[in-house]
């Protein structure tokens, strides 16, 4: 995802605020997008991976700390199928964390 689109997703999720906590409670800041050397770096991840049919819609995108994003990307066991109870719980947690 390009930086312009990622910043738009960030602004949408966090109502224009420049610093927030992601769904795991880690602080992320708007400026260090995709910077692995920053303690507040972040990236966009797909709740349902594109390889499993996930889309680039806002409803399938999650702003997360870069370390969490990297861990999820490396861990193949976290790839979820549509309809999984785990996926439904995860989506509920995400919705609650951005309210």
Please provide the DSSP assignment of 59-81 as one string. GGEEEEEHHHHHHHHH-GGG---
Q: What's the average model confidence in pLDDT over 58-75?
A: 79
pLDDT at 16: 82
pTM over 0.85: no
Q: Give residue-wise pLDDT tens across range 9-66.
A: 898 888 888 899 888 888 999 999 999 899 999 998 888 888 778 888 888 888 888 8
pLDDT tens per residue across span 51-63: 778 888 888 888 8
CA distance 52 to 60: 12
Q: Say what the pLDDT of residue 38 is.
A: 92
């Amino acid at each position: 995802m390009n930086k312009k689109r990622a910043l738009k997703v960030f602004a949408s999720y966090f109502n224009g605020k420049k610093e927030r906590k992601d769904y795991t409670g880690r602080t992320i800041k708007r400026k260090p997008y995709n910077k692995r050397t920053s303690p507040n770096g972040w990236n966009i991840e797909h709740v349902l991976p594109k390889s499993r049919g996930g889309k680039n819609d806002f409803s399938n995108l999650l702003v997360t700390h870069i370390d969490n994003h990297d861990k999820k990307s490396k861990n193949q066991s976290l790839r979820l199928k549509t309809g999984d109870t785990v996926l439904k719980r995860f989506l509920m947690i995400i919705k609650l964390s951005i309210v």
